[in-house]
Amino acid sequence: MTENPQRQKSTPLETLIGVFGYPAFRPYQEGIINSLIRGEDAFVLMPTGGGKSLCYQIPALHRPGVGIVVSPLISLMKDQVDALRANGVAAAFYNSTLGEREARRVLMELHDGRIDLLYVAPERLMGDAFLERLAELEIALFAIDEAHCISQWGHDFRPEYIQISRLRRLFPGVPVIALTATADHQTREDILIRLGISRAACHITGFDRPNIRYTVEDKRKPFAQLLDFLRFREPYDAGIVYALSRKRVEEVAARLSAEGFAAAPYHAGLPDRERQRVQEAFQCDDLQVVVATVAFGMGIDKPNVRFVVHYDLPKNIESYYQETGRAGRDGLPAEALLLFGYGDIAIARGLIENGGNPEQNRIELHKLNSMVGFAEALICRRRVLLGYFGESLAEDCGNCDICLNPPERYEATEDARKALSCVYRVGQRFGMGHVIDVLRGSRNERVRELGHDRLSTYGIGATLGQEEWGGIIRQLVHLGYLEQDLARYSVLRLTETARPLLRGEQTLILARPRIRPVSAKKPKRGSRPGDNGKGCNEMLFQALRALRKEIANREGVPPFVVFGDATLTEMAARRPVDAGELLSVSGVGQHKLGKYGAEFLRVITGFDESA
Ligand code: ADP
Ligand code: ZN
């Protein structure tokens, strides 16, 4: 505890600047860090890329003893530890990949108080021998990463996490911080109870990922559309293309390779070794595109994934959000493109209907419908996404295809009122299909049997087509005038918001349904992501990238461990000429300055514009 100067002397902010090289905390980070330093428990729900790691890394440096980090993914531990070491932090991991000698060395360092952060797999941590060792040591904190793995409610339950529940009783005085990016209310409660930290302060940040641009394109000629999209990217931008089947994955990867892209397939049918190779090549910037089934992702901790393309329709919004969330973890602009084909809906529906129990199927069908609703949305995509997770945006995002290329709007008060009153007339007990049938005056059997052809709203919407009414009703759902009951056949019901509209006290502008979605405007090429108009020199940026890659190879770490893209972009824009200026670039801390500063300064100062 003596060799670490942060502990006594500096503030968390000074550690952020000096060790990690970042000029300011992100929202929430500072509060969480301070409460943990005071010894309080914390629960943190932040989106991927939100900056969760610093929330326990900095307190571990400021509290006496070693910080123990529980993480489920062995493949990620090494990267995390490499990244910390690159900043001069005494970090290590302890898991089954270590040889006997290495493991013994880690334990010795641990005993000597020479480790500030130890990453441990849960089953290792909870072994009796290891717990006995810990009992003799001073422990700064326990950080439980991917904390939803402890809950059976969560989508990623891991039995080995259950054991962690004992930590609180075994180490009553040590603060516990639980972190996750995916927890609904039930899972959240479950995490707190299981970890025995029900009094923990909950820090819940928004779900929004403002740097990701969401675009949905009508799926016409998917491969040609993918090529079109990729050709608008910089040739070194890395990304993931998700497809539904192994066969499609193989096919798209082969065609991309034939077009000259550094692309590779990834799916559960490939041998472990091959999958490992693809993953590492991607981490190390040696592969540009990974075409993958959803098997690819959990083990990916690459901050500079610039795009995620969905070649096929994801099965629900949760998956879509998680998969697109792998883009832009470094906070720089990133793209999420969904190719949306009506045929895909039928395929997805078929897969669900062939599956297990009816109750489950109904929920999955509803979730699929919400996904389709997103793809068909005529209002800001981000509003729909966040709305799905129970969050609302104060205004349209300005960074999705709808905001950038808005559909035509029209005075829709009359139409909306017709739809709402029809929902009311059928007793708020039917889904969209039936409501539209009644509105359009359908003669189908169900309508007649129910006597709905005698309702006052029967046939009042005959001038509009089925798809148009679908578009209107979905907008009413997204805007909160109607709600769909998940548990009961997606039944439509009015909300309080609908009243003034029904009573004629309010008017409403809606987007005119685009029966054939117009393809989205392409992002402008030219400006580099993160450039912010500061005039990042492209050639200098390339030279810095080459140097980064050289250093990464030399040290056997992924390039982003040396410096992130944002840091290189800032260097290429500001062109620091000495150590002091280089240190003020975000992402350059004292340790990296000492280690790499001279090499980077040499490239920057020796850069010849005219060459
Ligand atoms: P999460 O675990 O929430 O997905 P990370 O902790 O990996 O996210 O952080 C995502 C990225 O943001 C990392 O590259 C990290 O270094 C960076 N980051 C975190 N906090 C800050 C900050 N205050 N300033 C600048 N970059 C930050
Ligand atoms: Zn938007």
Give the pLDDT confidence of 62-112 residue by residue, as tens digits.
999 999 999 988 878 888 999 999 999 999 999 888 999 999 999 999 999
Three-class secondary structure assignment of 271-339: CHHHHHHHHHHHHCCCCCEEEECCCCCCCCCCCCEEEEEECCCCCCHHHHHHHHCCCCCCCCCEEEEEE
Identify the bridge partners of residue 289 per DSSP, sorted by sequence position: 239, 263
Contacts of residue 331, defined as CB under 8 A and 6 or more positions apart, other chains included, come to 49, 211, 566
Rounded CA separation 574/585 (Å): 8
For 459, list phi and psi in degrees, rounded to 5: 75, 5
Q: How many CB atoms lie within 10 A of CB 362?
A: 16
How far is the CA of 478 from the CAs of 414, 448, 453, 509, in angstroms? Answer: 18, 30, 28, 13
Count of C-beta atoms within a 10 Å radius of residue 266: 25
pLDDT score, position 355: 73
Residue 52's nearest CA partner among 148, 142, 198, 179 is 179
In this predicted structure, the answer to whether residue 486 has a pLDDT above a threshold of 70 is no
Residues 432 and 552: beta-carbon distance below 8 Å: no
475 Cα to the center of ligand 2, angstroms: 14
- Under 8 Å between Cβ of 303 and 330: yes
- Element spanning 83, H or E: helix 74-86
Q: What pLDDT band is residue 467 in, cutting at 50, 70 and 90?
A: confident
Say how many Å lie between the CA of residue 26 and the centre of ligand 1.
Answer: 8
Q: Give the Å distance between the CA of 578 and the centre of ligand 2.
A: 42
Query: How far is the C-alpha of 452 from the C-alpha of 458, rounded, in Å?
Result: 7
What's the predicted TM-score (pTM) here?
0.77
Comparing 59 with 10, the larger pLDDT belongs to 59
pLDDT at 531: 45
* Position with higher pLDDT, 418 vs 50: 418
pLDDT in tens, 430-458: 998 999 999 999 999 999 999 999 999 99
pLDDT tens, 104-147?
A: 999 999 999 999 999 999 999 999 999 999 999 999 999 999 89
Confidence (pLDDT) at 470: 85
Nearest CA to 458 among 489, 430, 433, 421? 421
pLDDT at 297: 73
Q: With a cut of 60, say whether residue 524 has pLDDT above it.
A: no
Is the pLDDT at 290 greater than 60, yes or no? Answer: yes
β-bridge pairing 139-144 and 66-70 = parallel
Ligand nearest to the CA of 393: 2
Kindly identify the ligand whose nearest atom is closest to the C-alpha of 73: 1
CB atoms within 10 A of CB 159: 11
Phi, psi of 217 (to 5 degrees): -120, 140
28 lines ligand 1 (CB under 6 A): no
CA-nearest residue for atom 24, ligand 1, is 22
pLDDT of residue 298: 66
What are the residues facing 485 on neighbouring strands?
491
Distance of alpha carbon 345 from alpha carbon 329, whole angstroms = 30
Answer whether residue 591 shows pLDDT above 70.
yes
Task: State if residue 54 touches ligand 1 by the CB under 6 angstroms criterion.
Answer: yes
Ligand 1 touching residue 530 (CB < 6 A) = no
pLDDT of 546: 95
Q: How far is the CA of 181 from the centre of ligand 2 (A)?
A: 22
Most confident of 360-364, 413-417, 478-482: 413-417
Largest CA distance in the chain: 84
pLDDT for residue 7 is more than 60: no
C-alpha to C-alpha distance for 347 and 168, rounded to whole angstroms = 47
Q: Are 579 and 593 in contact (CB under 8 A)?
A: yes
Pairing of strands 201-204, 42-45: parallel
- Say what angle helices 466-478 and 358-376 make with each other, to 10 degrees: 100
Q: How confident is the model at residue 8 (pLDDT cuts 50, 70, 90)?
A: low
In this predicted structure, what is the pLDDT of residue 494?
95
| Whole-number Å distance between alpha carbons of 15 and 22 | 9
Task: For the chain, give the mean pLDDT.
Answer: 88
Give the ligand with the smallest distance to the CA of 377: 2
200: tokens are: 């923990």
Residue 601 has pLDDT above 80, yes or no: yes
- Checking if the pLDDT of 487 tops 50, the result is yes
List the single range of 187-191, 195-199, 240-244 with lowest mean pLDDT: 187-191
Q: For residue 291, give both structure tokens.
A: 């075409």
Containing 460, the helix (H) or strand (E) segment is none
pLDDT tens figures, 15-50: 999 999 999 998 899 999 999 999 999 999 988 888
Q: Which of 229, 207, 204 is nearest to 217 (CA)?
A: 229
pLDDT at res. 376: 83
CA-closest candidate to residue 339, choices 310, 367, 316: 310
C-alpha torsion sign, points 60, 62, 63, 65: positive
pLDDT at 521: 41
Q: How far is the CA of 252 from the centre of ligand 2 (A)?
A: 29
| Burial class of residue 208 in the structure, from the number of CB atoms within 10 Å of its CB (0-12 exposed, 13-18 middle, 19+ buried) | middle
CA 271 to CA 286: how far, in whole Å? 20
Examine the pLDDT at 1 and tell me if it is beyond 70: no
Ligand minimally distant from the alpha carbon of residue 558: 1
The residue contributing the CA closest to ligand 1 atom 13 is 330
> What percent of the chain lies above the pLDDT cut of 90?
64
Overall average pLDDT of the 169-183 stretch: 91
From the CB of residue 566, how many other CB atoms can be counted at a distance below 10 Å?
Answer: 18
C-alpha–C-alpha distance, residues 315 and 294, integer Å: 11
Which alpha helices (H) appear in 163-316, and where do they start and end?
167-170, 185-195, 222-231, 246-258, 272-283
Instruction: Tell me the average pLDDT across 315-323.
Output: 89
Nearest residue by C-alpha to atom 5 in ligand 1: 51
332-365, pLDDT tens digit by residue? 999 999 998 767 887 888 888 887 778 778 888 8
H or E element that contains 240: strand 238-242
Query: How far is residue 584 CA from its own chain's centroid?
Result: 29
**Is the pLDDT at 577 greater than 80, yes or no?**
yes
Pick from 13, 15, 22 the residue to mutate for probing ligand 1's pocket: most ligand atoms within 8 Å of its CB.
22
pLDDT at 126: 93
pLDDT (mean) for 465-494: 82
Tell me the best of 26, 43, 45, 53 to mutate to test the pocket of ligand 1, counting ligand atoms within 8 Å of each CB and taking the most. Answer: 53
329 lines ligand 1 (CB under 6 A): yes
Cα–Cα distance for residue pair 52/158, rounded to 1 Å = 21
Full set of structural domains in the chain with CATH:
6-204 (3.40.50.300), 212-360+384-396 (3.40.50.300), 409-511 (1.10.10.10), 529-605 (1.10.150.80)
Nearest CA to ligand 1 atom 16: 51
The answer, yes or no, to whether any atom of ligand 1 lies below 6 A from the CB of 564, is yes
Place of tokens 């004992």: 166
* In contact, 143 and 43? CB cutoff 8 Å: no
CA 48 to chain centre: 4
Report pLDDT for 518.
Answer: 41
pLDDT in tens, 500-518: 999 999 999 988 865 544 4
**Average pLDDT score over residue span 147-164:** 81
Q: Which residues contact 513 (CB under 8 A, 6 or more apart)?
A: 378, 467, 468, 470, 471, 472
Closest CA to 130 of 150, 113, 106, 114: 106
C-alpha–C-alpha distance, residues 43 and 188, integer Å: 9
- Which amino acid does the sequence have at 517? P
Whether residue 529 has pLDDT greater than 60: no
Closest atom of ligand 1 to 16 CA is 23
Q: How far apart are CA 212 and CA 224, in angstroms?
A: 23
Q: For residue 344, how many other CB atoms are within 10 A of its CB?
A: 20
Cα–ligand 1 centroid distance for 209 (angstroms): 13
pLDDT value for 525: 35
> What's the confidence (pLDDT) of residue 408?
83
